[in-house]
Structure 1
Amino acid sequence: MTSPQVMLNLDGYTDLPPGKIAAIVTYLEMRSPPPMSPAEAPGTWTLQRLNVDHSRYRTLYRRIGEPWLWFSRVVMPDEELSGILDDPKVEAYALHDGTDDIGLLELDFRPEREVELAFLGLAPGIIGKGAGRFLMSEAIRRAFAQPIDRFFVHTCSLDHPAALTFYMRAGFTPYRRAIEVSDDPRLQGFLPRECAPQIPVIADL
């Protein structure tokens, strides 16, 4: 069924149909690596490639993303995800603490002379322990290990409240803003109805 078209009000509120969610997306970029000391990781932490293990990737993506309604890779068919992860210019890593996967880092080197920070996230309970700083340090190091013009990323208002400031502190500069409207993946059955309770489910009555 085709969703009704809604005219965006650029000077006030715009009502969304039931079943839709909206987010403010902020795009950021980094033209050169900032001066920073490499983040030290505990001896038990390792970065392990995920590209060939799609099931492990999906499990970690869900564990990290469900509290913030990450859904892009959840709704993605297996063939499409394989086309990304199997590409030699995409690097996906799990941050492993010796017992479990606690973080996700994904870098996309496919754009010409650019690198996208596709995903950087931490499992619940890990934020504040230095893992994010470690992953960002690794991301910047790997991105600028080859000659590129730009390292870029985007985040949105549905993500962790500290995500945007984290990227800015790391040296990214905001340059564009957009509104993303999509179907609520919980109502479509892609994510549990109870996940991300801070974002209310509003369905047809």
Structure 2
Amino acid sequence: MSLDAGLYPVPEGHLAAVVTHLETTAVAVPDSPFPDDVSIERDLPSVERYRALFRAIGAPWLWTSRLKLSDSKLAEILSDQDVEVWLLRRHGIDIGVVELDFRVAGECELAFFGLIPTETGGGLGKAMMSFAQKRGFSRPIKRFHLHTCTLDSPKAVPFYLASGLRPTRRQVEIFEDPRLAGYLGEDTAPQHPLIET
């Protein structure tokens, strides 16, 4: 599909984001250990616990994909042997997630990666990315990849580039505003103003 350069209307009640896909074909970051008071453990959290952490991390960036799934569909994904959910904990409290998806043969998708807002900016991201890439390439894969978008933190793409991932393609995603659909509160992510329908 080819579009002429220019501006295009976004349907009422929807948002638009530019999605950037990035990848690496080998571990591209040096070892970076976690602080002594932070652990990372593979877990099979309940749907409720997973969604609570997903909201805590992703609400500022309008993450909603896992909020829209039925309980049974989300439980099916989380319990898949080729999906690894790794939870970061500080003093026993969930503070972050590294979710690796190996369901496509020869690939590892970093499906979800993030920290609760009070934990960002302290250097944990480097340890998380080091862990994610090493864990990804511990299986026989040829590609470790992820995608992010313009609704995410403005620090996301620079961080991924500094982590040795290279951009491969872009897409435009248009989707229903999750605040109007009731998945998130109307006061969520004020940096993306809500346009009432």
TM-score, L = length of structure 1: 0.92
Note if 1:23 corresponds to 2:20: no
Mapped to 1, the partners of 2:174 and 2:70 lie a distance apart of 20
Alpha-carbon shift at residue 45 of structure 1 (Å)? 0.7
For 2:193, give the aligned amino acid: P
Matches within 5 A, 1:55-66: 55-66=48-59
Mapped to 1, the partners of 2:59 and 2:178 lie a distance apart of 10
Deviations 1:125-180 (A, max 9, x none): 21111111111011001001122110110000000101011111101110110000
Deviations 1:30-85 (A, max 9, x none): 11112x43112111111133324222111100000001101111111111111210
For the residue of structure 2 that corresponds to 1:18, the secondary structure is coil
Structure 1 alignment gaps of length 5 or more? 1-6
Percent sequence identity over aligned pairs: 44
Contact kept in structure 2, 1:24 and 1:178, CA below 8 Å: yes
For 1:200, give the aligned amino acid: P
Contact kept in structure 2, 1:24 and 1:177, CA below 8 Å: yes
Runs of 4+ residues over 3 Å off in structure 1: 7-10
Alpha-carbon shift at residue 9 of structure 1 (Å)? 4.9
- Aligned-CA RMSD value: 1.5
Structure 2 alignment gaps of length 5 or more? none
For the residue of structure 2 that corresponds to 1:125, the secondary structure is helix
Note if 1:156 corresponds to 2:161: no
Equivalent position of 1:41 in the other structure? 34
TM-score, L = length of structure 2: 0.95
Matches within 5 A, 1:1-205: 9-34=3-28, 36-204=29-197
